Chain A
Amino acid sequence: MKRYVAGRLLESLVVLALMSYLIYGLIGLMPGDPIDIMVQADPDLTPADAARLKALYGLDKPLHERYLNWLSAALGGDFGYSRVHNAPALDVLGPRLVNTLVLMGLSFVVSLAIALPIGIYSALRPYGARDYAINFAALAGISVPVFWLALMLIYLFAVAWGVLPAGGMQTIGVDSLADKALYLVLPVLTLSAASAGGFTRFVRASTMETMRQDYIRTARAKGLPERRVVLKHALRNALIPVVTIVALSFGSLFSGALITETMFSYRGMGKLIYDSIMGNDYNLALVGLLFATVLTLLANLAADVCYAWLDPRISYQGPA
């Protein structure tokens, strides 16, 4: 197992190196650099100003040269300055990463806490009124656009009832955990709704499939109580495809987080990456996207480890 994990980590490093080149290249291929846009916005900028600023920010060099310069500095621990935030890229990203991990982590926990029991319940009593109601709610969660749901929650809880803040991360001048928790309620609810719906559907389908297997019939024939059949025999097997889906959806949470972060003025990484790409802030965009890649790779690695835990028959040893 250790060898397997070490091997996957090495693979991840190669993926990261390739991703850094790809991301840098793609951002560089976008039309217009920051100075071109600045020139359009400021009629007083002279051609000499534009040339000087391009040289100052290294934008006068070919793309591959800029990438190699960045890479050699990054290998030495210097990930460059954010042009837009006027601070080291890592310093800008660090707090945002923590915020996003809090938001995503809580959303994951909430959505799984909803999806697992409801999905299993629904699978064990299929095609009844409650199953249909659960399916309807799950489909609604998947179908409702995140921005619309966010707006509705804001209007209900902040504007109409006035019981939760409409956005931000804390009351200005108040520094308490309870206060910060209040500001997380609506973003977490929004982000959880769609993923909980999707996860519920997967848990239900996977559990239903597992419950039809021979070993479940055998377990029942042995006279095991139903509760034990479900929890001991069915659930672990049913969770294997769910773990795959959960790991794969980790990356897509960033795009969901972008909308949620925008709607709730939550200072997270999704919004930061989006703004840095649109603002041609190469260093920040690159580091942000690489962090997102790292998180997705780690989530997938964690999923592989979970497979082995869930199903002892899965082995990561090579062929003898």
Chain B
Amino acid sequence: MIGRSIFSLLAALLLWPAAAPDARAARDELVIGMTQFPATFSPIIESMLAKSYVLAMTRRPLVTYDQSWELACMLCTELPTVENGLARRETLADGGAGMALTYTIQPGATWGDGTPVTTRDVLFGWEVGRHPLTGVANRDFYERITAIDVHDDKRFTVHVDKLFYDYPDRGSIPLLPAHLERDAFADPREYRHRTLYDADPTNPGLYYGPYRITEVVSGSHVVLEPNPTWWGDAPHFKRIVVRVIENTAALEANLLSGGIDYVAGELGFSIDQALSFERRHGDRFNILYKPGLIYEHIDLNLDNPMLEDRRVRRALLYALDRESLVAQLFGGKQPVAHSNVNPLDWVYSDEVPTYAYDPAKAAALLDEAGWTEMRDGIRHNAAGERLTLRLMTTAGNKVRELVEQVLQSQWKKVGVEITIKNEPARVFFGQTVTRREFPALAMYAWLSSPESVPRSTLHSAMIPTEENNWSGQNNPGFVNAEMDALIEKTEVELDREVRRGYWRRMQQIYAEELPVLPLYFRADPYILPPWLTGIEPTGHQVTTTLWVERWGARE
């Protein structure tokens, strides 16, 4: 009591600045907490979730996946489709098939300094993106564009050198303000060091979304204020502050003490932290759990003689009670995965074999595979080999370490011994997984996008080897000619219903062959104050901030 009085007095004496800030009281300021600071604000150089989160409030892509997981126009006025004639097949000089996609930029789109957004900015974005020295990560996207025809300031046609199933998105070049950034690009090798997005990130001319960045304190926070040249619905908040607090315990303390209003699901609490928070403070906050495309799974190294046998792989999955696992550990908020495709994705098929918990079936399959003799509770085969598998994941990831223990005990019940060896993330991903050095099982997650064709993870050409400089993410080493053919056909098939058939078959092969053990789809927990409205998590890679103008405050 005495302590309280002393500190209250001290606070009053020091004119504690958070005592009654008008903006917060009027609910026209929002302070968002998240755990990562953007390394750069350049829309083109590096792919990073923290950057996407902030930039989505300041710019709009031509095309994006919306909340119903369908491609939709944002900066363009009409989505190019074969049906409306804005997308058409064309024959390339070498006789192959390409596409021409026509877009029109929103007529009111204007950079924050009053300069109209035009096709000049599209061309400049393409020029920077395809230059080999600018440091753009995924240059393949830009190189696939063979030409851009400019019709006028707002209308242009992109020519791509291949048919793509997701063709409306293939001309969605990130726009760059040519009138400001041209000088920084004079020496392309130096562009990433000179771009105004990092050298002068509060320059209003860099942004054309509902907000613009007005203050950046590296590692600490970003302040955004409404962009007066925004053409769409006026956003509610007069100021949005994105505060970065990397430690989640400190993030929670800040939320409880009023230092932040809302914890972003995209980069906030893990599921176990959110569940624990909900138990203690659920009455003060609205907590949304949105399952999405982050797919937790176990890669099986198919070069391992024990795992070469499909019966063993199936037995491993039958022996897992995943429904109980997600119920016990995640309060049922993270749904069990039956394949690599999320049920929210339109390509999901429910005609896929599933593996409900059935230890008797698992035991029978292991017997059939020759692992019949039980010694010390562990199965052995006729050659006297012990059925021991090493399970690896990222050390220090509490959720994965808990899951590991559950898996270990469930597999032990059917006579499979699991030894656990975890490694720091940079070793695990930088070497062990990339170079396929895990001897048996590697548990981690994939992040994809809606209708993402699994070329990099399931095509046999994408098995990382020294020859291909360890590129590709087919880490199990899965080789299946039918899967390869389906992937290639799906990528170039424009008819949605035909693709649906291909996807169904791909999921069947995946579930039958089990190069990977599916576990569950991760859910992002969003911790909102009761007064905050309009936040609608997507479940895919596009952040909620892309619709920030719909956010509001309830009185």
**With A47-B471, A166-B257 given, is the CB distance from A37 to B138 under 8 Å?**
no
B250 at the interface (CB under 8 A from A): yes
Contact, CB under 8 Å: B473 / A40: yes
CA distance A262 to B45 in the complex (A): 27
Contact, CB under 8 Å: A265 / B244: yes
B residues less than 8 Å from A159 (CB atoms): 253, 256-257
A residues less than 8 Å from B133 (CB atoms): 56
**With A36-B434, A157-B7 given, is the CB distance from A151 to B426 under 8 Å?**
no
Contact, CB under 8 Å: B247 / A263: yes
Chain B's nearest CB lies how many Å from the CB of A195? 21
Contact, CB under 8 Å: A265 / B220: yes
Contact, CB under 8 Å: B8 / A167: no
Contact, CB under 8 Å: A174 / B17: yes
CA distance A45 to B40 in the complex (A): 19
- Among residues of A, the one whose C-beta sits closest to the C-beta of B222 is A172
B residues less than 8 Å from A166 (CB atoms): 250, 253-254, 257, 259
A residues less than 8 Å from B67 (CB atoms): none
Contact, CB under 8 Å: A86 / B244: no
A residues less than 8 Å from B427 (CB atoms): 30-32
Q: Digit string of B52-77 for contact with A (CB within 8 Å is 1, else 0)?
A: 00000000000000000000000000
CA distance A180 to B426 in the complex (A): 36
- How many pairs, one residue from A and one from B, have CB atoms within 8 Å of each other in the complex? 181
A16 at the interface (CB under 8 A from B): no
Chain A's nearest CB lies how many Å from the CB of B467? 9
Interface residues of A in 166-183 (CB under 8 A from B): 166-169, 171-174, 176, 178-179, 181-182
CA distance A42 to B457 in the complex (A): 11
Contact, CB under 8 Å: B198 / A87: yes
Q: Digit string of B434-455 for contact with A (CB within 8 Å is 1, else 0)?
A: 1000000000001110001001
**With A42-B137, A85-B218, A265-B244 given, is the CB distance from A178 to B14 under 8 Å?**
yes
- Among residues of B, the one whose C-beta sits closest to the C-beta of A40 is B429
Contact, CB under 8 Å: B457 / A43: yes
- Among residues of B, the one whose C-beta sits closest to the C-beta of A264 is B250
Contact, CB under 8 Å: B137 / A168: no
A84 at the interface (CB under 8 A from B): yes
Q: Which of A31, A45, A158 contacts B253 (CB 8 A)?
A: A158
Q: Which of B250, B468, B473 contacts A43 (CB 8 A)?
A: B473
B15 at the interface (CB under 8 A from A): yes
A53 at the interface (CB under 8 A from B): yes
B interface bracket (residues with beta carbon within 8 Å of A):
35 or more
Interface residues of B in 225-268 (CB under 8 A from A): 241, 243-247, 249-250, 253-254, 256-259
Contact, CB under 8 Å: A86 / B40: yes
A78 at the interface (CB under 8 A from B): no
B141 at the interface (CB under 8 A from A): yes
CA distance A272 to B217 in the complex (A): 14
**With A45-B471, A46-B471 given, is the CB distance from A56 to B135 under 8 Å?**
yes
Q: Which of A32, A56, A265 contacts B430 (CB 8 A)?
A: A32
B221 at the interface (CB under 8 A from A): yes
A residues less than 8 Å from B481 (CB atoms): none
Chain A's nearest CB lies how many Å from the CB of B146? 17
Scoring B8, B39, B452 by chain A CB atoms within 10 A of each residue's CB, the highest score goes to: B39
B495 at the interface (CB under 8 A from A): no
CA distance A69 to B226 in the complex (A): 45
B residues less than 8 Å from A32 (CB atoms): 426-427, 429-431, 434
B433 at the interface (CB under 8 A from A): yes
CA distance A168 to B219 in the complex (A): 10
Interface residues of A in 202-236 (CB under 8 A from B): none
- Among residues of B, the one whose C-beta sits closest to the C-beta of A91 is B218
B139 at the interface (CB under 8 A from A): yes
B residues less than 8 Å from A151 (CB atoms): 249-250, 253
Chain A's nearest CB lies how many Å from the CB of B140? 5
Contact, CB under 8 Å: A44 / B141: yes
Chain A to chain B contacts (Cβ below 8 Å), 9 pairs: A32-B427, A36-B431, A38-B137, A44-B141, A47-B469, A86-B39, A158-B257, A158-B259, A267-B218
Q: Which B residues contact A (CB, under 8 angstroms)? A: 3-4, 7-8, 10-11, 14-18, 31, 39-40, 42, 45, 47, 132-133, 135, 137-141, 189, 192-193, 198, 215, 217-221, 223, 241, 243-247, 249-250, 253-254, 256-259, 426-427, 429-434, 446-448, 452, 455-457, 468-473
Q: Kindly list 8 other residue pairs between chains A and B, CB separation below 8 angstroms, not including A43-B456, A163-B11, A176-B17.
A: A31-B426, A46-B140, A46-B471, A56-B133, A157-B7, A163-B7, A163-B10, A165-B18
